[in-house]
Structure 1
Amino acid sequence: MKLDELLGPLGLEEAIAAIIERRFLHLPCGGGERLTTLLGWDSFVSILNLQRVGMRGIRVFKDGRPIPLSCLTGSRSGTSIDGSAFNRLSRQGVSVILNRLEHRSKDLHGLWCEAREGFACPAQLAYVANFGPGYALNAHFDRYDIIVVQVAGLKEWEILGDVVDVPDARKPTQINNDTVTHRFVMSPGDVMVLPYGLAHRCKIPDASLQLGILLERPHGCDYVKRLGELASERPELRRPAPINCQDEKAMARYEQELRQAVVALMDAFGPREFLLEEMRAIRSREVTAADLPPSVALDFED
């Protein structure tokens, strides 16, 4: 499936405009039959079979509480997911979040390539699968801008308050305003733009599957972290501080030299160079999904 097919009437340009403006957008598109066929439960199960307990990229929740991944292996030794154990969990209405789908599926590889090029920023794909009444996570906001597409089933959403200007990603559940500003149900084919910093919560009446494009725009702290890595390569930034911090002259000289060295580093490697480096890393990070082993479908029936 192509990116323009996935976005439907939203379109890439409108999606980018909404992200730039940090504007929430929900489009009831309908017509999700093709989406369900191409990216639905068969795709989810295929990717789930490739997961191993202990791998990054898989999380299980029930009504806001994390479920130990060891519950997925049942009595089987090892790290492979056991179909019977998974069936038991699914009948209890758990929710499963699978991240980094671009490294797990041949079909989603092309979609990921289009997304990272079209939005011109790092991206990842994620499934959120819900298997019964309840919810996965407590009210929270995300660190990323997310394009949400409902693939199968229905999902009830509540948007809380307004977009927080500079949210603290370390405290995603710290909601300052829990006033419901939007309440709606997403059906197969519906598309939503969810800006980072916009609090929300979901309820699931029955089995539901959604696909998300997570746009991982670097933050200022990411740039500063990269500067720290580059600083170790510069002799002027490897000089030790004065032994006696009470020596005013020595400290003033050291502080001045340090400031000059940091400014010189930022002049040589500014935010623009950092973002260009990130994009080069994206283009060189080719997925190896073509070499993945074939999966064996789990049995979702009793």
Structure 2
Amino acid sequence: MNARAAPPSALSSDRLAAKLLGALDERAFFQDIWERRELHLSAAFDVEEIAVLFPMDKFDEVLTSGSLMSPHLDIVRGGKKLPVPFTQSPSPAADVRQMLRELRDGSTVRVAHIEHYLPSLSRFCRGLEQVLHIPIRANLYMTPPFSQGFQPHYDLDDIFVVQVLGQKQWYWHSDYANQADLPNADMGFDAGRHASSRPPTPILLRCGDVLYLPRGFMHEARTDEHASIHITFATIGLNLGQFVEQLVRKLALSDVRLRRMVRFDPAVEPDPRELSELAALIADCLSNVASSKALAEASAFMRQSMANHRIADLQGRLMRGLNEGFEQD
């Protein structure tokens, strides 16, 4: 009698994404939290689940095999980026020995788009996208003990932080000068303008914890005696203003008035009547921007962009095709 094959593991990174989304749904995430306030989920994942999401041996292989290329690597100390050491040119690979020296000296190593290097993280991103309906990217931060890579700041993306090694003390600054609500790319953080006005709220992230922070939430993080690796899963979608830009671009294809040049004499203040006429023209041009037809066309473009962003699950098909002949899609 042949021995029965062991059943496949129930754990997978896409199932872990579903687990996280289920926990968020229990908190009425989109109704009460999304783009409004922070959320800390303690022990969202256990040790075994973290090992599935972030296989340490695979990450070590990425770091040491020479596959980590510019510009996906940053080294940060005291809030400033340091020159990144590479061993080759023009296709540089990271100098691992120098990177280890930088870590020993207190620097933080950031790997951008780590999902391109670890399939488990790519599947986790795709799992989040299935419900969030927004493209997701993953950045990894590796920090030695008693260190802080970045000074207080806010991000321009909503982020889900997953602690995958050690622990890290985060601080959320709930009040700061010139508060930026849901900032976009034109509203970058300025330490001179956005000074904190009261002591921050501490949030300790242990391995398996998840922290959600909307864009514009000022924060900082530092390690204690424990080294830390955390991964931020950031939203990279379009806000309503950017969606309207897409609508206007689409409308300009059929309305020649939106393709005409706008001219201003820099030495002369514009005539109020000319500005009034321009405002009336713009209002007339955009009167159909929110029509059902325009919205349908723009939303179709957005859906297609999202579909193009997702990486299809084609694992094994290339090799099977080479060996057995390619299937017709």
- TM-score higher than 0.5: yes
* Matching residue of 2:304: 280
Call closer, same or farther: CA 1:250–1:30 in 2, change over 3 Å: closer
User: How many residues end up aligned between the 2 structures?
Assistant: 285
**Deviation of the 1:283 alpha carbon:** 1.8
1:61 aligns with 2:85: no
**CA deviation profile, 1:78-124 (whole Å, cap 9, x unmatched):** 41112222222222222122222333322222211111112122221
Higher relative contact order (CA 8 A, sep 6+): 1
* Matching residue of 1:235: 256
Matches within 5 A, 1:157-168: 157-162=170-175, 164-167=180-183
* Matching residue of 1:190: 209
Call closer, same or farther: CA 1:263–1:8 in 2, change over 3 Å: closer
In the alignment, the residues of structure 1 paired with residue 82 and residue 14 of structure 2 have an alpha-carbon distance, to the nearest angstrom, of 33
In the alignment, the residues of structure 2 paired with residue 265 and residue 217 of structure 1 have an alpha-carbon distance, to the nearest angstrom, of 21
Call closer, same or farther: CA 1:217–1:251 in 2, change over 3 Å: closer
**Deviation of the 1:188 alpha carbon:** 0.6
* Matching residue of 2:232: 212
Question: Percent of pairs identical after alignment?
Answer: 19
* Matching residue of 1:172: 189
Q: Highest Rg: 1 or 2? A: 2
SS state at 1:52 partner = coil
In the alignment, the residues of structure 1 paired with residue 297 and residue 75 of structure 2 have an alpha-carbon distance, to the nearest angstrom, of 38
Contact 2:20 2:44 in 1 (8 A): no
1:50 aligns with 2:67: yes
Contact 1:10 1:27 in 2 (8 A): no
1:41 aligns with 2:62: no
* Matching residue of 2:103: 90
* Matching residue of 2:294: 269
The two structures, once aligned, show a CA RMSD in angstroms of 3.4
1:121 aligns with 2:134: yes
* Matching residue of 1:20: 34
SS state at 2:34 partner = helix
**Deviation of the 1:260 alpha carbon:** 0.9
Call closer, same or farther: CA 1:240–1:64 in 2, change over 3 Å: closer
Call closer, same or farther: CA 1:139–1:251 in 2, change over 3 Å: closer
Contact 2:59 2:118 in 1 (8 A): no
TM-score w.r.t. structure 1 length? 0.78
* Matching residue of 1:294: none
SS state at 2:161 partner = strand
Call closer, same or farther: CA 1:19–1:243 in 2, change over 3 Å: closer
1:109 aligns with 2:122: yes
Q: Which of 183-192 and 274-283 deviates more?
A: 274-283
**Deviation of the 1:66 alpha carbon:** 0.6
Contact 1:18 1:24 in 2 (8 A): no
